[in-house]
Amino acid sequence: MNTQYSDKESNIDVLLVNPPSPIRCRYKAEHLGMGYLTAVLQKENFRVKIIDAPLKDLSIREAVKEILKTKVSLIIGFSVITPEAFYVVIEIMSFLALAKVSVCICLGGYFPTFWFREILRSFKDVDFVVLSEGEITFLELVTALHNGGDIKEVKGIAYRRNGNIILNQPRPLIKDLDELPFPNRDTIERVIREDYPVAIYSSRGCRHSCTFCQISNFYRLCPGPGWRARSPANIVNEIEFLNSNWGVKSFLFVDDAFLDITKESRTRVHKIATEIIRRKLKIRFAIQCRPDAVEKKTFRILKEAGLYLAFLGIESGIEKSLNYFRKGIGLNQVRNSIRILTELGIEINAGFILSDPNTTWEELRENIKFLKEVREAIPIELYTLKVLKGTELENILCKENRLLKKGFYLGFYTNDPKVELFQRIIGDYGRSGLSAEVVLKFYKILFSIGNSKNLLEEKGKKKKVKIIAESIKDVYLFFLEELIKQIDEGSLKEISSLFSKLSGKFQQISKKIEGI
């Protein structure tokens, strides 16, 4: 590996890195967090470069080469969301240490926000951690490094001093998101070329507090309202700018919850939709929302404005699990939301968790039966419940002495041994990557719907999505029912054979995709 800086590269002050993903990405989009950081820094005349490794399909070594050919004068910032990404960053930092890169290293994102003490205690190459919302905090940190200012005056960071871990005062959340500049779009050309959706935020935070989710607690670490929204005019101004200057037609709203059940939220999204329609913007967009937020009048105007896809957080077909997750919804609301979206012709992509720590074997059977009856609830990827640091789920399991910890991973003991075995095998399946190629192709077509040239092409792509989704769901139902059967019969030697069958089925779907 070449460990020398290239003289051809311009000097920069700040390098922002989205590390390579150890897990194959289901779909790709811009890293808006780094885009906002860059825009805020550039407004103050700092020179910034972004390396978005997942978007560019960079391996760890390729990412290191990109970093080493960039002359950085002040700081390298890594965005870290998951434990898997953190271990990749550790590997990158070891290469940088060998190359004697001497600039400061800073981590930001969900993962380091909740693990900052353990990170700073164990990894001396990490100099700073930005906690929670980062734009103003990181700007002040970079400014202090540039001017030789006092780090202890920078709110919202953690660091070491004289061997001790120091946590500065918390940074108040940004009150008015309209004051932020539009995010930097240095990577947008690749996004457009690869037919990925262009990401956009209309709000930050979530008013709900699901036990398994970090979002609410992430923002509650700081003074100020956890949920804030940009004004409808500001949002549509950005959409119109991207549409006019880059020809962008397909957008992915990456809000944690694009809308909820409050009158304020419905009024806001109604204004967004009305403004898109008033300006005659011919766009398509996707959102994330909860089932109880789906209401026909609101979604009808969203559909008119361009909504074609909703990521729907269903989570479970068992009322007891929904209560355990503190979703605040019931199965009737789930069914009603699916009915409304289907009637309006809006694609559904479901979030679903097969079991929780208290799920019994019979309840697990019920959940799979629910998926057979409500096929729209079957996810495109099978997941087990993950325990994330800083969540209420972590607190509950800790109090019950059922929390497992291995390095930077958290897990739990289940009450039912059969369910525990089921979860382990589902986890093995997830790590096997058997469905990765098919899922990637599926999302490629799904998001390309928004870039259709006309309604006929859009209709054809929706038909393809339906065919592929139904094929994937058939495989999942086969897998889940066979797995239940084999665990019941104690024939675990057949699991490897089951995985081989799954591999064959996904290969068939992959060929089908090429043929339609």
Nearest CA-CA partner of 182 in 244, 108, 236, 247: 236
pLDDT (tens digit per residue) in 308-333: 999 999 999 999 999 999 999 999 99
Using CA atoms of 239, 243, 244, 245 in order, give the dihedral in degrees to the nearest 10.
Answer: 100
Res. 515: pLDDT tops 90? no
Inter-CA distances, 490 with 241, 357, 367, 478, 482, Å? 60, 22, 21, 18, 12
Res. 42: pLDDT tops 50? yes
- For 70, phi then psi, to 5°, come to -105, 125
pLDDT at site 138: 98
pLDDT at site 423: 94
pLDDT (tens digit per residue) in 57-93: 999 999 999 999 999 999 999 999 999 999 999 999 9
**Of 27-31, 205-209, 480-484, highest mean pLDDT:** 480-484
310: CB partners within 8 A, 6+ apart: 286, 287, 288, 289, 294, 341, 346, 347, 348, 349
Where does the pLDDT of residue 25 fall: very low under 50, low under 70, confident under 90, or very high at 90 and above? low
Tokens of 183: 């995010």
Res. 23: pLDDT tops 80? no
Within 10 Å of residue 280's Cβ, how many Cβ atoms? 6
Res. 251: pLDDT tops 90? yes
Average pLDDT over residues 394-410: 95
Average pLDDT over residues 335-343: 97
- Residue-range domains of the chain with CATH: 11-162 (3.40.50.2300), 195-427 (3.20.20.70)
3-state secondary structure of 394: helix
Res. 396: pLDDT tops 90? yes
| pTM, rounded to two decimals | 0.92
Where does the pLDDT of residue 494 fall: very low under 50, low under 70, confident under 90, or very high at 90 and above? confident
Res. 514: pLDDT tops 90? no
3-state secondary structure of 251: strand
From the centroid of its chain, how far is CA 5? Answer: 33
């009856």: which residue's tokens?
373
